[in-house]
Amino acid sequence: MLRIVNGRVYDPINGIDGALREICVQGGKIVETVPREARRIDAQGMAIMPGGVDIHSHIAGPKVSLGRKIQPDDHRCDVHIRTPITRSGTGGTVPSTFATGYRYATMGYTTVMEAAVPPLGARHAHDELADTPVIDKGLYTVCGSNLLIYKMLQDGREKDLRHVVAWLLNAAKAYTIKLVSPGNDEVWKGARNSQITDIGQTITGFELTPRQVIKALIGAACDLGLPHPAHIHCNNLGHSGNIATTLETMRLAEGRRAHFAHIQFHSYGGQAGHNPTSAAAQIIEALDRNPGLSADVGQVMFGKSTIMTADAPMAYMLRHYSKDKRWVNADTECEGGCGIKPFAYQDHVYTHALQWAIGLELFLLSKDPWRLVLSTDHPNGGTFGSYPRLIRLLMDREFRKQEIGKANRKAMKRTLLLDGLDREYTLQEIAIVTRAGPARLLGLKNKGHLGAGADADITIYDVQDDKEAMFAAPRYVFKDGVAFIDNHEFRNDHVGRTLYVAPDYDRAIEADVKRFFDDFYTVQFENYGLGADDLGPREAVPAGQVA
């Protein structure tokens, strides 16, 4: 039992913006009140927020493991020391499971979603997630590159699709479906160095276009009433002029819900093969016009990163772009591919500086922080460890000016950052883009707020002028009411829950799926799906109203 007094509470879902409120905790939940003898924390001079929620990150699964494996040098430089309470690990841009959980939690984040696991990799990913301490977690499973789904769509079986998707979600114990540049991996495998450049193009080996795949999967997620809609990585990521593809993909939602991942990487004007320009304003306008759509930014931060994506051709394209020649291309039978490439964003390089600026433009132009939330697409645009710095860039105009001054001048001149874009995020807006907004977009009713009944995931920061310092090291972090960080010290270890959905479907579809497995997979149908017992501590999140 716990009573937190004298702190300023930032709880946007409940409309509390910096008011002095008491927060009471019992049995891992927020409650109205607790008995007098409950432990009391005096939070004078502190800001109290719900635990952070990361809607898009890469923390577990086969591609994350490959990212770790090819960078042993990173691990040697950044050892995560064990304490009497917590375990050891390694850091770098792709931290080990233990370091991932502890480092997120040490920053005040208590829920993190792994954004791209092919169903075949789900067993591996869940094993890693079970080993990731403190935080609650879940995974999105890649369906937009799945040959079974392509085949069904090609055969005109759109009505059966939702049953296959529901079966896949159950088999992978996933939280929602993910699309990654639909069609791209098949075209890539089918003809060397080819890619989908237009979503009306035919996917190699099929009479089908990415447009049909995207539309059908947005529909399937809505029909199943998933708490979080289809999570889409649009085609043409990173290419000049990709704004056309992004807007066209958004139009396919036709008023239904859809989430657009790391939208910064999809906000480029200019012509293919030439330097990109910023199309941030067009993205903001499109989000504003379509209330069913949401996005996370995918901010680029200067410094080391690791590109890791189910968009295999992307890693191939980037393989010569840095001194570090390591890269991986891997195939996931019938379900897509992946690419991994150690990378570094540099402030003097035009494209990198422009990407950094476009992310900031998106944040600063955003009209609805509930639908445009914070991410760096960890570790793609930068690591989650750079969030405090990003928050300072948003909250501190003078600091931002200094950083703009160091970046490539030509790139800065082509953005709105030099045109008096002087917005400063408030603590309440930061609370929206880092917890309340993502929790709401994920349909997690017990997260992202501090009302009675919410999970007691609470972060308490010392209010400081230096917002980077403030958000890097909260004074208290509670997970399910357990004090993980207590007065800046580790006091407990903790195991969080895996969040997943279990939508109903017509069991008759399994005969079709099994036939496909017999013909094309090396894995037996019977050995493929996970049972709930294969997960660690877990929570099935109910599907909402069928849209």
Binding site for Zn ion (CB under 5 A): 115, 377
Least Å from the CB of residue 48 to Zn ion: 30
Least Å from the CB of residue 71 to Zn ion: 18
Q: Which is nearer to Zn ion, 180 or 250 (CB)?
A: 180
Quote the CA–CA distance of 97 and 129 in Å, as a whole number: 7
Least Å from the CB of residue 347 to Zn ion: 23
Residue pair 234/246 in contact by the 8 Å Cβ criterion: yes
Q: Which is nearer to Zn ion, 41 or 115 (CB)?
A: 115
Q: CB-based burial of residue 519 (10 Å sphere; 0-12 exposed, 13-18 middle, 19+ buried)?
A: exposed
Cα–Cα separations (whole angstroms), residue 482 to 121, 167, 457, 493: 32, 35, 9, 9
Least Å from the CB of residue 302 to Zn ion: 19
What letter represents residue 237's amino acid? L
Q: Which is nearer to Zn ion, 117 or 171 (CB)?
A: 117
Q: Which is nearer to Zn ion, 74 or 377 (CB)?
A: 377
Least Å from the CB of residue 56 to Zn ion: 6
Q: Is 32 helix (H, G, I), strand (E, B) or coil?
A: coil
Least Å from the CB of residue 261 to Zn ion: 6
Least Å from the CB of residue 381 to Zn ion: 9
Quote the CA–CA distance of 486 and 495 in Å, as a whole number: 17
Q: Which is nearer to Zn ion, 181 or 209 (CB)?
A: 181
DSSP 481: T
β-pair type (458-462, 372-373)? unpaired
Residue pair 88/80 in contact by the 8 Å Cβ criterion: yes
Q: Which is nearer to Zn ion, 327 or 425 (CB)?
A: 327
Quote the CA–CA distance of 533 and 526 in Å, as a whole number: 16
Q: Which is nearer to Zn ion, 136 or 377 (CB)?
A: 377
Q: Which is nearer to Zn ion, 97 or 376 (CB)?
A: 376
Least Å from the CB of residue 484 to Zn ion: 26
Quote the CA–CA distance of 328 and 308 in Å, as a whole number: 9
Residue pair 88/82 in contact by the 8 Å Cβ criterion: yes
Q: Helices 387-395 and 397-406, interaxial angle, to 10°?
A: 110
Q: Name the token pair of 102.
A: 């502890």
How does DSSP assign 408-464, residue by residue? Answer: -HHHHHTSSTTTT------HHHHHIIIIIHHHHHTT-TTSS--STTSB--EEEEE--
Cα–Cα separations (whole angstroms), residue 276 to 64, 117, 163, 232, 398: 29, 30, 41, 22, 27
Quote the CA–CA distance of 375 and 452 in Å, as a whole number: 28
Q: Which is nearer to Zn ion, 115 or 535 (CB)?
A: 115
Quote the CA–CA distance of 448 and 395 in Å, as a whole number: 20
Least Å from the CB of residue 378 to Zn ion: 8
Q: In the structure, how many helices (H) and strands (E) does the chain have?
A: 19, 28
Q: Which is nearer to Zn ion, 261 or 280 (CB)?
A: 261
Least Å from the CB of residue 408 to Zn ion: 25
Q: In degrees rounded to 5, what are phi and psi of residue 213?
A: -65, -45
Q: Describe the chain by its helix, strand, coil percentages, rounded to 5.
A: 35, 20, 40
Least Å from the CB of residue 294 to Zn ion: 15
Beta bridge partner(s), residue 29: 26, 455
Least Å from the CB of residue 353 to Zn ion: 21
Q: Which is nearer to Zn ion, 377 or 480 (CB)?
A: 377
Q: CB-based burial of residue 349 (10 Å sphere; 0-12 exposed, 13-18 middle, 19+ buried)?
A: middle
Q: Which is nearer to Zn ion, 58 or 449 (CB)?
A: 58
